[in-house]
């Protein structure tokens, strides 16, 4: 089935290209912006530990499942679900999941683009901040000036959506492959440089301790303890781009001969490495300059400029840092829009380019709610013991990362490891039937769904 569909749809040129594109999708604002502030807010090492366990035991097997479904399905999300369901002899409304996954991408992109827009604003902001001489206070006021003015945020949100839509309209593989090939290694090099800088700060030890020495007493507080596990699994899904069809679509462009497990493992490891490095940069700065750990989404935008204001060549490093953050965000945002666009196009609703502009426009409109969440529409609420200040933005984030992604992930896992034939799964993973396959299959069949259900029940019902 996959073989018939593929020639018309094109393929990645090699396994490396797939790994780069999937890494480009996975490594993004989730690693550098979101992971540190979630870890700060959720109390540090315990969150990091649960996050790592979630990536390894739930994330990686389900990521394999998602790629496998994409490649075997070989179509857009809805048609793939239908074809796979038919092949497995399953009834059930599986194709509906194609629509809900594509919609989830649009919802995520609506707020992701606003943050992506801030990274563009910050590239320019670096020059201004630098000439003013920069301390923690002026970095904080620069941030509130940007986010407090709906007009400024809206402008940069618009620019970021244009960047994303233009690429998706022209087809992902033209240009994107090349950009990712150059920019991903550069991003890694810059992060390593920043870690070396952070290691020279007096707050480094405290930062490392915050990330790696777990305080198990946190679990004793039942309210906070529950929130941590859900936040960690949500973050694992978000960071791996898991559970909304982005990786499934990328998988549908994967040639039949490529081994899925090795490629997925590489993506998962790179993604985790970047998140940990980002934490190792940001926490020492936070401790050294007495910034607030639980400052939420503003963390990176305030703590990093403080460091750039002090270090030698800070302006240059600052501009590079935010440029690379932008690139990381860009290669991810494309994968958020792609499934919806591919669906509109292959369903013959609109042409490829009109599909991209229609989905881009819808996302842009939805994004206005996030722009306003930091000023006019800001309101606070409490979710599982953590207080949130940015109304609709926080709600969208929780709805997508902590609810839609884990639930989709659970369903994907159940589909591959329970509904699909074991022999088909074995054929796609191409590991033979030995211990490695047995382990992945066992983890995907029993441990992963059990853990997701447990975390969801524990969070909402217990
Ligand atoms: N993983 C990306 C990040 O960490 C964001 C992202 C891209 C994403 N595609 C996704 C998240 C699909 C969830 C689902 O920034």
> CA-to-CA distance for 64 and 47, rounded, in angstroms?
24
For residue 239, report the distance from its CA to the centre of ligand 1, in Å: 6
Q: Is the pLDDT of residue 3 over 50?
A: no
Q: What separation in angstroms does the CA of 336 have from each of 26, 103, 373? A: 10, 10, 21
**Per-residue pLDDT at 132:** 63
Element (H, E) at 386: strand 386-388
Q: Which atom of ligand 1 is nearest to the CA of 335?
A: 9
Is residue 29 in contact with ligand 1, taking CB distance under 6 Å?
yes
> CA-to-CA distance for 391 and 376, rounded, in angstroms?
10
Q: What phi, psi does 172 have (nearest 5°)?
A: -65, -35
Query: pLDDT by residue (tens digit) across 70-119?
Result: 999 999 999 999 999 999 999 889 999 999 999 999 999 999 999 999 99
Q: Which atom of ligand 1 is nearest to the CA of 29?
A: 15
Q: What separation in angstroms does the CA of 312 have from each of 252, 307, 322, 334, 421? A: 46, 10, 17, 35, 59
Going by the DSSP 8-state scheme, the letter that residue 424 receives in this structure is H
The distance of Cα 48 from the centroid of its chain, to the nearest Å, equals 16
Query: pLDDT by residue (tens digit) across 76-88?
Result: 999 999 999 999 9
Q: What phi, psi does 382 have (nearest 5°)?
A: -115, 130
> CA-to-CA distance for 289 and 283, rounded, in angstroms?
10
**Per-residue pLDDT at 222:** 63
For residue 336, report the distance from its CA to the centre of ligand 1, in Å: 7
When pLDDT is averaged across residues 47-55 and rounded to a whole number, the result is 94
**Across 59-63, 302-306, 356-360, least confident range:** 302-306
Is residue 31 in contact with ligand 1, taking CB distance under 6 Å?
yes
Q: Mean pLDDT for the chain?
A: 89
> CA-to-CA distance for 40 and 35, rounded, in angstroms?
8
**pTM, to two decimals:** 0.92
Q: Closest residue (by CA) to atom 14 of ligand 1?
A: 241
Question: Mutate which of 62, 70, 111, 244 to test ligand 1's pocket (most atoms within 8 Å of Cβ)?
Answer: 244
Q: What phi, psi does 414 have (nearest 5°)?
A: -65, -40
Sign of CA dihedral 60, 65, 71, 75: negative
For residue 280, report the distance from its CA to the centre of ligand 1, in Å: 21
| Largest Cα–Cα separation, the chain | 66
**Residue 185 burial (10 A CB sphere; 0-12, 13-18, 19+):** exposed
> CA-to-CA distance for 97 and 411, rounded, in angstroms?
9
**Residue 380 burial (10 A CB sphere; 0-12, 13-18, 19+):** exposed
For residue 28, report the distance from its CA to the centre of ligand 1, in Å: 7
**Per-residue pLDDT at 7:** 39
């Amino acid at each position: 089935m996959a073989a018939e569909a593929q020639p018309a749809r094109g393929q990645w040129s090699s396994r490396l290209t797939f790994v780069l594109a999937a890494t480009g999708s996975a490594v993004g604002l989730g690693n550098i912006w979101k992971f540190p502030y979630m870890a700060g807010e959720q109390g540090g090492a315990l969150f990091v530990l649960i996050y790592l366990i979630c990536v390894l035991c739930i994330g990686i097997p389900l990521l394999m499942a998602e790629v496998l479904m994409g490649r075997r399905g070989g179509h857009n999300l809805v048609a793939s679900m239908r074809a796979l369901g038919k092949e497995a002899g399953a009834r059930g409304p599986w194709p509906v999941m194609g629509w809900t996954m594509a919609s989830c991408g649009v919802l995520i992109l609506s707020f992701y683009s606003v943050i992506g827009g801030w990274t563009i604003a910050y590239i320019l902001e670096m020059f201004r901040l630098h000439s003013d001489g920069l301390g923690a206070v002026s970095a904080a006021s620069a941030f509130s000036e940007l986010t407090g003015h709906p007009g400024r945020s809206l402008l940069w949100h618009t620019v970021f959506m244009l960047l994303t839509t233009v690429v998706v309209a022209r087809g992902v593989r033209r240009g994107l492959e090349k950009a990712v090939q150059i920019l991903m290694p550069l991003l890694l090099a810059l992060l390593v440089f920043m870690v070396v800088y952070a290691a020279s700060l007096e707050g480094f030890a405290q930062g490392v301790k915050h990330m790696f020495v777990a305080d198990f007493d946190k679990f004793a507080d039942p309210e906070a303890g529950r929130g941590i596990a859900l936040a960690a699994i949500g973050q694992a899904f978000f960071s791996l781009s898991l559970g909304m069809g982005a990786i499934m679509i990328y998988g549908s462009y994967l040639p039949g001969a490529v081994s899925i497990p090795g490629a997925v493992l590489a993506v998962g490891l790179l993604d985790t490495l970047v998140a940990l490095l980002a934490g190792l940069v940001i926490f020492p700065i936070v401790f050294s300059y007495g910034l607030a750990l639980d400052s939420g989404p503003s963390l990176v935008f305030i703590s990093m400029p403080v460091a750039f204001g002090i270090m030698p060549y800070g302006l240059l490093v600052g501009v590079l840092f935010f440029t690379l953050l932008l690139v990381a965000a860009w290669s991810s945002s494309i994968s958020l829009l792609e499934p919806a666009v591919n669906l509109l196009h292959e369903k013959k609703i609109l042409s490829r380019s009109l599909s991209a502009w229609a989905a881009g426009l819808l996302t842009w409109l939805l994004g206005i709610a996030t722009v306003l969440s930091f000023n006019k529409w800001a309101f606070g609420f409490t979710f599982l013991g953590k207080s949130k200040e940015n109304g609709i933005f926080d709600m969208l984030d929780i709805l997508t990362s902590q609810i839609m992604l884990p639930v989709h992930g659970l369903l994907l896992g159940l589909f591959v490891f329970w509904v699909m034939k074991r022999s088909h799964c074995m054929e796609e993973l191409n590991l033979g039937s030995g211990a490695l396959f047995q382990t992945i299959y066992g983890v995907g069949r029993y441990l992963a769904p059990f853990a997701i259900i447990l975390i969801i029940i524990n969070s909402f019902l217990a």
